[in-house]
Structure formats: structure tokens, C-alpha cells
């Protein structure tokens, strides 16, 4: 997420910040985690025409490429996060098994010591 934030910071001007905020909302939403695809060009054309009418410069395609790279990075990081969460769950399960085994052997040793002392 840090790399994503750095890329958002590089976008700079107000229009790009608005677009980046929309991407961020979509990226942090469930749409990407459920595997739905977000096309970087969606909505860009209407915003470009709005900018042309308001006297702003049009998106040259560079912003689309930057947005696409950011979206791809978010997808990759989302996938990595999911994998890390799965591994963490497996490690927790293994730790619980180890604790149960340790408790069993501690109890077993304690009962053996008690039996030895009673002899």
C-alpha cells in the first residue's frame, strides 16, 4: 500500500488527484478483491471532455498508462495480501497444534513424576 500511496502522491494536480481518489476507492473496495476488472479508461473520456470544455489540457494517454500501472500494482498487492493472510491463518493453526502437543506432554511428564514419587 505504501508504493500505491507514493504513486498517488506523484500524480500531483487536482484532476489527477480526483481520478486517483476514485481509483483508490475502487481498489480498496470489494470489486478488485472479488476479481472484477476495472478498466482504467472508464470515465476518463467524459472527464477529458469536461476538461476540454473548461479550458484544461486533455489526457494524452500518459495519465491512462499511469493509472493502469497503479491499478495493476494494487491488484498485485491485493493478491499478495490475500496470500499473506492465508499463510498467517495456517501458521496460527500450526501454533495451536504445537501448544496442544506441549500441554499434553507437560501433563504427561507431571503425571509420570507423580507416579514415580508415589513409588
Mean pLDDT by 10 residues, the chain (119 residues): 59 56 67 46 49 57 89 94 94 96 91 76
Identify whether the C-beta of residue 62 lies closer than 8 Å to the C-beta of residue 69: no
pLDDT for the residue numbered 84: 95
Identify whether the C-beta of residue 56 lies closer than 8 Å to the C-beta of residue 49: no
pLDDT for the residue numbered 62: 85
Give the residue extent of every domain in the chain: 2-118
pLDDT for the residue numbered 64: 86
Torsion of CA 42, 45, 51, 56, to 10 degrees: 100
Identify whether the C-beta of residue 40 lies closer than 8 Å to the C-beta of residue 64: yes
Taking the CB of residue 33, how many other CB atoms lie within 10 A of it?
14
Amino acid at each position: 500500500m505504501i508504493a500505491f500511496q507514493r504513486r498517488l502522491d506523484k500524480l500531483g494536480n487536482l484532476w489527477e488527484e480526483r481520478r486517483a481518489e476514485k481509483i483508490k476507492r475502487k481498489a480498496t473496495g470489494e470489486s478488485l478483491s472479488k476479481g472484477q476488472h476495472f478498466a482504467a479508461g472508464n470515465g476518463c473520456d467524459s472527464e477529458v471532455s469536461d476538461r476540454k470544455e473548461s479550458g484544461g489540457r486533455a489526457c494524452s494517454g500518459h495519465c491512462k498508462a499511469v493509472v493502469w500501472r497503479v491499478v495493476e500494482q494494487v491488484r498485485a498487492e491485493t493478491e499478495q495480501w490475500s496470500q499473506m493472510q492465508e499463510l498467517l491463518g495456517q501458521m496460527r493453526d500450526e501454533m495451536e497444534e504445537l501448544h496442544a502437543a506441549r500441554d499434553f506432554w507437560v501433563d504427561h511428564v507431571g503425571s509420570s513424576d507423580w507416579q514415580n514419587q508415589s513409588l
